């Protein structure tokens, strides 16, 4: 019985031309050895962005913070917007040390998703007198970006 089933399988394989069979085996083999991570994980994942942004602010890595920002970076309370990477480097302390300690805040808190848009997150860092400094992030075609700093506000909403 085993011999006849083996013969049937061989007869089945003889029906395929050799070049097509080889091509099929190569394609299937390539699919099996290709790492799965190439096909998964969206590139705009907020958690990954936040990890990079937070680490850059804590390390005072101005170039990485600039790469993770969208310009012009808008400011509130009448402060001039930040036009480009050079200006961000010059005003880094103004962004992250004025009115709050962003590095300490980012170590202890996590951003929350915006209640009106799944494409926005914000983190409210404490100040004095129950004020907060709010940092906002938005998903764009290029991925997540730091987009806005709200100077001390009484919002307390996040």
Run of H or E residues at 63: helix 62-67
Q: Is pLDDT above 90 for 35?
A: no
pTM attached to this predicted model: 0.69
Domain 46-153 of CATH type 3.10.450.50: yes
Domain ranges of the chain: 2-38, 46-153
Quote the pLDDT of residue 7. 52
Residues 38-76 have pLDDT tens digits of: 333 343 599 999 999 999 999 999 999 999 999 999 998
Residues 92-144 have pLDDT tens digits of: 999 999 889 999 999 999 999 999 999 999 999 998 777 899 999 999 999 99
Better pLDDT: 102 or 152: 102
Q: What are the E-state strand segments in the chain?
A: 69-75, 112-113, 120-126, 132-140, 143-153
- Over residues 148-156, the mean pLDDT reads 76
Quote the pLDDT of residue 4. 54
> CA quadruple 125, 57, 76, 147: dihedral positive or negative?
negative
Cα gap 80→86, rounded to integer Å:
14
Cα gap 58→46, rounded to integer Å:
18
Quote the pLDDT of residue 119. 96
Helix (H, G, I), strand (E, B) or coil at 99: coil
Cα gap 48→56, rounded to integer Å:
13
Quote the pLDDT of residue 40. 31
């Amino acid at each position: 019985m085993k011999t006849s089933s083996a013969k049937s399988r061989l007869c089945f394989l003889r029906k395929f031309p050799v070049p097509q069979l080889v091509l099929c085996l190569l394609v299937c083999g390539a699919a099996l050895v290709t790492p799965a991570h190439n096909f998964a994980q969206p590139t705009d994942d907020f958690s990954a962005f936040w990890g990079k942004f937070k680490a850059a602010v804590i390390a005072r890595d101005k170039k990485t913070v600039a790469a993770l920002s969208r310009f012009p970076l808008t400011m509130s309370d009448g402060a001039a917007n930040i036009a480009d990477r050079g200006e961000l480097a010059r005003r880094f302390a103004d962004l992250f040390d004025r009115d709050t300690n962003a590095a300490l805040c980012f170590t202890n808190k996590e951003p929350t998703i915006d209640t009106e848009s799944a494409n926005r997150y914000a983190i409210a860092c404490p100040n004095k007198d129950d004020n907060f400094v709010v940092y906002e992030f938005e998903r764009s075609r290029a991925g997540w970006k730091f987009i806005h700093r709200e100077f001390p506000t009484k919002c307390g909403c996040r």
